[in-house]
Amino acid sequence: MINGRAVAEKQLKITERTVFSSGGVDLDLVPAKLTPVPEGGSLSLDGEWAVMRHPFDDESADLAGAGADSWEVVEQPGKVFYSDPEGEKVDIPNWNRISLDHIDENDGAILVKEALVPSEWSGGRIFLRFDAVYPAGIFHVNGKKVGEHYSGLTPVEFELVNANPGEELTIAVRLLRKHKFVKMDMPRHALEFAGLAQSAYLFFVPNTFVKDYHLITELHESLVSGSVRGVVSVEAAVNSSLSVVLSDGAGEVVSTFERAVAPGRSDCDVELKIANPKLWNDECPNLYDVEIRVGDASYSYKTGFRRLDLSPEGARLNGNFVKFRGINHLTFHREYGLHTPKEWLRESLSLMKKANINAIRTHFTGPSDLVDLCDEMGFYLLQELPIDWGTNYIHDTDWVAPALMRLEGAIRRDRHHPSIMVWSVGNENMPESAEVAEDGWNHLRTYDLFCKALDPSRATMFPPPGPANKIKGIFELRFGDVADIHYSFKLQKQFNETGRIEMPNSWEADMTTITREEALERGWSGCWFSSEYGIFNAIPDVLNGPYLSVISDKDQEPLSGRNTLDVFAKRLRNEWGNMRFDSTCLGGAYFPWLCAGAGKGTDGNPWGWTRWGEDANWGVVTADLLPKPQFWALRVLFAPVWFPERVTWDVGSDAVSFKIMNQYNSINLNECVFRTQLNAGATYCSMMRKFSDIGVECAPGETGEFTIPLDESLIQALSEGNWVLCRVTMLDPKGFSPVTADIQIVPEDVRIKGGGAMTVGPDAVI
């Protein structure tokens, strides 16, 4: 059995591929360090690339770019291969969406692009960076191999020691459609996409430059002071000066640091302090700029001050109640596959805001553009790290080094972003048998140690499998800071009631019992999250589906004829309501947001709209971002305030009152507007022009009194047995309406059921 701590420490130290022995096992460790890119020092390789698809007549010549002028031209980042065999008419022999057995080992393509190194890039070093090549690539420059990368979702870079300013480079990528470790990167959702999934570029660093930095932004528990502190590693050719500057969103400098650096390598301890920082959350995503300068090189990134505290009493962000109203985001574009253009992503996230979503659990390691937008727009991000469905490999030591490389690449890329709240380590990993379970869990413990070594400032969680076969489900609190559960809430409710739970050690259902005390002593925070729940057949046009929910604790009768939207809303109210009102629940992520699907197949588009991927029609929006009926139900139930559908009027009272809970993080409800319309005619309330506003005092996480005054005419109607309708339109401090609710005000004895005929005609008074 490997020594997890020793392996994690070794991975952090290596700068080149290294064989490391632990527990009698040789691990082929691959570094995943990234060189910071100076401002203005990069040359984009996005755009047209020449492509030659397998088979190749002379692969070595093709990798040198010979004859590429006559090849097909494709836009990259984007698709080179893209297919969904489930959408084809003819069966494909050996087709397997997870292992890709139907694809030949050598299948793939060669991508070639010419690039001119800028003549001003002298007196320094030149690097080649690919932010993501899916699922893997072998890289050549001027016909010579510079490296390889068997990870489709994390970045890779190579120093080009023989490249010269003013030189024309031939950059070639031997794109692979599959490889041994492809299962880790979730090909089952990728529709066999292959290509450059994110940008590629050359970049230049002078001889005096920043080798690495890790600066942790902290908010003091008092919430009135903060700091940016950590280490900046500098390589200097001459005596230089290192400066680090913190500026607010208006560009005003709020804190500075400076020190001299001598020639050679210097690890500089840096600390910037700030008083009364503007805090970052989903409602007010206040950002600051950090600029690092050494010699002629400058670097910058955005940060934010926020503090997430987890305890058995619940989660607090910046000292206030917080609840993650989340969805699962599967990176996918119906035409470009795993390449999601930034403005398209912005459109998608804007739609999420309209649905009252404030959190995203990525199901794939999301692209860097997504993380940038979450910082800017205000989304809590639970970033998944790519170790997917490890049933058949999580115990295998051959897969440990590739897992560490993926973890390191993803965390190094994103650990300075304020939107990242939790590292979601892999997805649904459980050993296949009792025989290998001990090794499997040891590897997961190793990954937890490694994540915390790379980023001690953030929590981890380990999303488990849901109910299947002999397994009733898993409430995973044996690893990570946040417990997690998928699709069924039975075990979580049992744990809440009894403080103990039986969970499987493997898919053979060999069980072990865990108590609350044991989990807390191990290091569990006391908080839990559901990173997957939902899955609902949601074809937009089908209003009465015979299949309804896919996975549910309460089965529906398939032939009931019930309205599909009604079934969806009641199920979501039950499941989200369970999380909403549980103080120990950080929140949940409905599965999924988007229907991933291909726009075209080999025979065009046989369905006239889109061809579904593995997640079928489950999303609440279509592949072209059209909201389905389920979108609107989710929006209502994700609102930060819930209103009752009906309240009872007490005879003689001139008002009705009820309790509401504020589930904002930083907004007191007295900052919101509650605009009310009342009508004893009920049916025609929406046609009324008269309205009045109600004020409510209620801090985040608290419960307040909502009182609706009644005038004499309404009291008279209620006294006669009529019911009254109150429509409440809620407006947040920015004027956005998160919800409109109709509340029926009824006397104990309702005698008149309808609102009467509609008033019409030229003399009508409404």
417 and 440 belong to one structural domain: yes
Q: What is the mean pLDDT of the chain?
A: 93
d(CA 439, CA 217): 36
What's the pLDDT tens digit per position in 520-579?
A: 999 999 999 999 999 888 888 888 876 667 778 887 777 778 888 998 999 999 999 999
Indicate whether 509 pLDDT > 90: yes
Question: Percentage of residues in the chain with pLDDT exceeding 70?
Answer: 93
Decide which of 156, 180, 203 is a domain's last residue.
Answer: 203
> CATH number, domain at 726?
2.60.40
Q: At CA 622, angle to CA 618 and CA 627, rounded to 5?
A: 100
**CA R_g for the chain:** 28
Indicate the range of 284-288, 701-705, 748-752 predicted with least confidence: 748-752
Does 757 reside within a domain? no
Rounded to an integer, the average pLDDT of 101-118 is 96
State both tokens at 761.
């005609």
Does 755 reside within a domain? no
259 and 334 belong to one structural domain: no
Q: Do 74 and 48 contact (CB within 8 A), yes or no?
A: yes
What's the pLDDT tens digit per position in 386-396?
A: 999 999 999 99
Range of the domain at 527: 318-637
> CATH number, domain at 389?
3.20.20.80
Rounded to an integer, the average pLDDT of 572-588 is 97
State both tokens at 287.
């950002």
What is the 3-state secondary structure of 607-666? CCCCEECCCCCCCCECCCCCECHHHHHHHHHCCCCCCCCEEECCCCCCEEEEEEECCCCC
548 and 590 belong to one structural domain: yes
Confidence band (pLDDT; 50, 70, 90) for 598? low
Residue of higher predicted confidence among 714 and 611:
714
Indicate whether 515 pLDDT > 60: yes
What would the DSSP string read from start to end of 340-398? Answer: --HHHHHHHHHHHHHTT--EEEESSPPPHHHHHHHHHHT-EEEEEEEEE--TTTTT-GG
d(CA 111, CA 156): 17
What would the DSSP string read from start to end of 57-101? Answer: S-HHHHHTTTTGGGSEEEEESS-SB---GGGSSS--TT--TTT-T
How confident is the model at residue 533, as a pLDDT?
Answer: 96
Query: Quick one: how far is CA 56 from the chain centroid?
Result: 39
Does 525 reside within a domain? yes
What's the pLDDT tens digit per position in 63-79?
A: 998 889 999 999 999 99
How confident is the model at residue 381, as a pLDDT?
Answer: 98
Indicate whether 602 pLDDT > 70: no
192 and 213 belong to one structural domain: no
Which residue type is seen at 245?
A: V
Nearest to 523 by CA among 470, 493, 479, 471: 479
Does 530 reside within a domain? yes
What's the pLDDT tens digit per position in 19-34?
A: 999 999 999 999 999 9
Rounded to an integer, the average pLDDT of 186-198 is 92
d(CA 113, CA 170): 6
269 and 129 belong to one structural domain: no
Helix (H) or strand (E) holding 104: none
Q: Dihedrals φ, ψ of 31, to 5°?
A: -70, 155
386 and 418 belong to one structural domain: yes
Query: Quick one: how far is CA 728 from the chain centroid?
Result: 32
Indicate the range of 119-123, 622-626, 715-719 predicted with least confidence: 622-626
Confidence band (pLDDT; 50, 70, 90) for 475? very high
362 and 440 belong to one structural domain: yes
Query: Quick one: how far is CA 417 from the chain centroid?
Result: 13
What's the pLDDT tens digit per position in 331-369?
A: 988 888 899 999 999 999 999 999 999 999 999 899 999
Question: Percentage of residues in the chain with pLDDT exceeding 90?
Answer: 83
CB atoms within 10 A of CB 556: 17
611 and 462 belong to one structural domain: yes
Point out which residues pair with 647 in neighbouring strands: 745
Does 16 reside within a domain? no
d(CA 721, CA 746): 8
State both tokens at 327.
């969805």
Rounded to an integer, the average pLDDT of 622-635 is 93
How confident is the model at residue 255, as a pLDDT?
Answer: 98
Residue of higher predicted confidence among 382 and 188:
382
How confident is the model at residue 756, as a pLDDT?
Answer: 54
Rounded to an integer, the average pLDDT of 175-182 is 97
Q: Burial letters for 322-350: b for 16+ Cβ neighbours within 10 Å, e otherwise?
A: bbbbbbbbbbbbbebbbbbeeebbbebbe
Indicate whether 648 pLDDT > 90: yes
Confidence band (pLDDT; 50, 70, 90) for 198? very high
What's the pLDDT tens digit per position in 32-41?
A: 999 999 999 9
Indicate whether 165 pLDDT > 60: yes
Indicate the range of 486-490, 682-686, 689-693 predicted with least confidence: 682-686
CB atoms within 10 A of CB 16: 7
Helices (DSSP H) in 254-295: which residue ranges? Answer: none
State both tokens at 58.
């002379």
> CATH number, domain at 237?
2.60.40.10
Q: Dihedrals φ, ψ of 686, to 5°?
A: -70, -15
Q: At CA 90, angle to CA 85 and CA 91, rounded to 5?
A: 65
611 and 694 belong to one structural domain: no
601 and 659 belong to one structural domain: no
Does 5 reside within a domain? no
How confident is the model at residue 433, as a pLDDT?
Answer: 97
How confident is the model at residue 227, as a pLDDT?
Answer: 98
- Kind of pairing, strands 324-329 and 585-591? parallel
How confident is the model at residue 563, as a pLDDT?
Answer: 87
State both tokens at 622.
């279509």
483 and 567 belong to one structural domain: yes
d(CA 635, CA 355): 4
Indicate whether 53 pLDDT > 90: yes
376 and 428 belong to one structural domain: yes
Rounded to an integer, the average pLDDT of 401-418 is 98
Indicate whether 752 pLDDT > 90: no
Does 15 reside within a domain? no
Indicate whether 731 pLDDT > 80: yes
Indicate the range of 146-150, 464-468, 555-559, 722-726 predicted with least confidence: 555-559
Nearest to 454 by CA among 24, 139, 31, 29: 31
Q: Burial letters for 641-667: b for 16+ Cβ neighbours within 10 Å, e otherwise?
A: bbbeeebebeeeeeebeeebbbbbbbb
How confident is the model at residue 760, as a pLDDT?
Answer: 57
Residue of higher predicted confidence among 253 and 603:
253
Point out which residues pair with 475 in neighbouring strands: 485
Burial (CB count within 10 angstroms: exposed 0-12, middle 13-18, buried 19+), residue 307:
middle
Which residue type is seen at 724?
A: V
Decide which of 637, 661, 694 is a domain's last residue.
Answer: 637
Confidence band (pLDDT; 50, 70, 90) for 684? low
Query: Domains in the chain: how many in total?
Result: 4
Indicate whether 687 pLDDT > 70: no
On the question of a cis peptide bond just before residue 55, with omega within 30 degrees of 0, the verdict is yes
What's the pLDDT tens digit per position in 414-446?
A: 999 999 999 999 999 999 999 999 999 999 999
Q: Dihedrals φ, ψ of 61, to 5°?
A: -70, -40
Give, as one character, the DSSP assignment of residue 277: P
Burial (CB count within 10 angstroms: exposed 0-12, middle 13-18, buried 19+), residue 740:
middle
Does 120 reside within a domain? yes
Indicate whether 473 pLDDT > 60: yes
